[in-house]
Amino acid sequence: MDGNTALSTAPFRDARYAPRRLDIERREDGSLVLANPTPFATQFLTTLQALDRWSAAAPDRVWLAERAGEGWRTVTYAQGAAMIAAVAGGLKGLGLKRGDCLLILARNGVDHALVTLAAQYAGIASVSVSPAYSLVSQDFGKLRHVLATTTPGLVFASDARYAKAIAATVAEDVEVVLAGGELPGRASTPFAALLDTAPGAEVDAAHARVGPDTIVKFLFTSGSTKAPKAVINTQRMLCANLQMIRQAMAFLADEPPVLVDWLPWNHTFGGNHNIGIVLYNGGTLYIDDGKPTPQGIAATLRNLREIAPTVYFNVPKGFEEIAAAMEHDDLLRRTLFSRVQAFMYAGAGLSQAVWDQLESLAERTVGERIPMITGLGMTETAPSCTFALRRDLRAGHIGLPCPGVEVKLVPMGTGADDKVEVRFRGPNVMPGYWRAPEQTAEAFDDEGYYRTGDAVRWVDAADPQRGLLFDGRVAEDFKLSTGTFVSVGPLRARIIAAGAPCVQDAVITGLNRDDIGMLLFPRLDECRRLAGLGADAPAAQVLRHDAVRGFFQLLLDRLWREGTGSATRVARAQVLVEPPSIDRGEVTDKGSINQRAVLQHRAALVEALYDGNDPDRLLPGAGATL
């Protein structure tokens, strides 16, 4: 057994998981079809049935909670059910009908949840838009794209901070519902008026028509290759996936789950997976007003000192910040580890160093380790398709198929080093992209499997029960001028791990060139700390400081020294002063870097990296200052 047992012999916290079961069909063309033979059937046909179940079985249990000063604003299941029916009536009263779309401009919050479920109640699709598209973007380009794709008949906004974006992009004849404040020069309907609506026969009739194939929402992809696509999410998709999660994480049925969660609802991890786990299993969601950034983590830490989750989800940067804080925060450690059954990360690879640190902290605090769960999923699959549930996991493992999902592994060539693409089929897979028939057709193979573009390989080909490893994106890999393939995903993961804590992400260069280069996005807060500079020090000054230059030079020297050949040896680097741009599609609001967009928009920097005329580039063995 490999894994973290070499670092710790403490037992794992005992929690129930699905048994590991795997059927493999080996085909003549070299492809494999994997399936979990565990019987599968959904408990609810719609998320609204789950709401009905828990509002009757546990009417006084808190369903949603958000910060209100020093305390929490809470909504019970019974209160939530009544409020959702009222708001659904209000939406109908404003003229929304089946086939229309509700656009939501808001961060996670109770009102956001209520209006989303109210739209579902009335059979109306919604689209929750990244707040960054309105509050950070300067040209509102992505917001305009969302509006053009979904043509909403009504806009809900949490407050007047969205006024500028609404004025620039939303037609005057589109009604706006506002939860707080006023829009200068534009009439709006207060959200409170919808809460005061008495549901009538029209909304009851609309609710009766909601079924498994009703469209719940549109979630937009990150747009890694083209413009973001609107993924159709149906009730069938959501409920099937939540049942898969419930069966995989069997401990969710043992007690109502309690989550403390910040992950944005315009993404599938937060908006389907996490909020869905709570509703499907009758749990409680404490909406975290923090973020995994130097500025936002304080709110998350405050919440985790106060509320003990039963399962905790985050992106790798969030776990990194929390682990660092727990080193010197006894209350945070005691609360977080007190009853959490499992951790789970998604969105990027978790550094093995952070993983090991979490295990060490747990052992020190409660005498046992907390299981770490991960897997593979995506917006198009609602999202979960595989889960890694073994105790001997390492960073990069993605596990085996969930019950109800078929996984096809398709070799992308005939060579031993060629990639193997993973594809999915099941009731959790989207019917297609909204108003994009050609892209929908391209997304599926001739057997109806969704083409993910993700590559995988076995942890141990001789023992398939150990599961699969993520092996990067098929489209990101490239050949050097020698014809040698470069596997970008594993190389990026190695660079980020070696570059902690000063490297946020790396973009790999070298297509049709003699050697590999990298463009590094730094963590400026960590670089300022290394340089002993204040929080206001300009990026250019920070990155030219001798201590910072020395750090990155040593990183490049190490990567060059540890490379085993031209496909893994990094020969040149540049640390980027300009941060990734959300308007250019270089980064998502979760912080994920779009490799292709960065290379496209910074082509001149790539040329300078190789032409020898850039004084800021780093070369192996060149010393700390150039």
**pLDDT tens digit sequence for 176-217:** 999 999 999 999 999 999 999 998 899 999 999 999 999 999
Nearest to 163, CA basis, from 105, 221, 116:
105
- Token reading at 563: 């490379």
Residue range 15-43, pLDDT digits in tens: 999 888 999 999 999 999 999 999 999 99
Give the pLDDT of residue 416: 55
Give the pLDDT of residue 417: 63
3-class DSSP assignment, residue 476: helix
The residue with greater pLDDT, 317 or 93, is: 93
Alpha helices, DSSP H, located in 275-339: 275-280, 297-306, 316-326, 330-339
Residue 590, pLDDT above cutoff 80: no
Rounded distance between C-alpha atoms, residue 404 and residue 253, angstroms: 18
pLDDT, the chain, mean: 92
Nearest to 465, CA basis, from 17, 5, 6, 23:
23
Element (H, E) at 141: helix 141-150
Place of tokens 């998350």: 300
Cα angle, residue 469 at apex, residues 466 and 473 outer, rounded to 5°: 160
Burial of 417: CB neighbours in 10 Å, binned 0-12, 13-18, 19+: exposed
Place of tokens 């990194």: 320
Determine the distance from the C-alpha atom of residue 415 to the mean position of all C-alpha atoms in its chain, rounded to a whole number.
33
> Can the peptide bond before residue 264 be classed as cis, meaning omega within 30 degrees of 0?
no
Residue range 352-386, pLDDT digits in tens: 888 999 999 999 999 999 999 999 999 999 999 99
Determine the distance from the C-alpha atom of residue 387 to the mean position of all C-alpha atoms in its chain, rounded to a whole number.
15
Element (H, E) at 491: helix 488-498
Nearest to 38, CA basis, from 383, 402, 423, 377:
402
Rounded distance between C-alpha atoms, residue 265 and residue 538, angstroms: 33
Residue range 267-310, pLDDT digits in tens: 999 999 999 999 999 999 999 999 998 889 999 999 999 999 99
Give the pLDDT of residue 589: 65
Rounded distance between C-alpha atoms, residue 129 and residue 219, angstroms: 8
Residue 471, pLDDT above cutoff 90: no
Contact in structure between 474 and 421 (CB atoms under 8 Å): yes
Residue 434 exposure: Cα atoms within 13 Å on the Cβ side: 28
Across 229-251, b (16+ Cβ under 10 Å) vs e yields bbbbbbbbbbbbbbbbbbbbbeb
Residue 166, pLDDT above cutoff 70: yes
> Can the peptide bond before residue 383 be classed as cis, meaning omega within 30 degrees of 0?
yes
Give the pLDDT of residue 482: 82
Contact in structure between 449 and 418 (CB atoms under 8 Å): no
Model pTM score: 0.87
Element (H, E) at 48: helix 47-57
Give the pLDDT of residue 477: 83
Q: Which amino acid, one-letter code, is at 360?
A: S
Residue range 499-558, pLDDT digits in tens: 989 999 999 999 989 999 999 999 999 999 999 999 899 999 999 999 999 999 999 999
- Token reading at 282: 């009758």
How large is the average pLDDT for residues 233-253?
Answer: 97
Q: Which strands make up the sheet holding 175-178, listed edge to edge?
A: 189-190, 175-178, 154-157, 101-105, 125-129, 215-220, 230-234
Alpha helices, DSSP H, located in 215-296: 235-248, 268, 275-280
- Token reading at 565: 């050949």
How large is the average pLDDT for residues 92-96?
Answer: 91
Identify the band that residue 626 occupies on the pLDDT scale cut at 50, 70 and 90: very low
Rounded distance between C-alpha atoms, residue 215 and residue 231, angstroms: 10
Q: Would you state the torsion angle of the CA atoms of residues 290, 292, 297, 301, taken in this order, to the nearest 10 degrees?
A: 80
Rounded distance between C-alpha atoms, residue 402 and residue 385, angstroms: 6
Give the pLDDT of residue 506: 95
Place of tokens 């413009």: 227
Q: Which amino acid, one-letter code, is at 122?
A: A
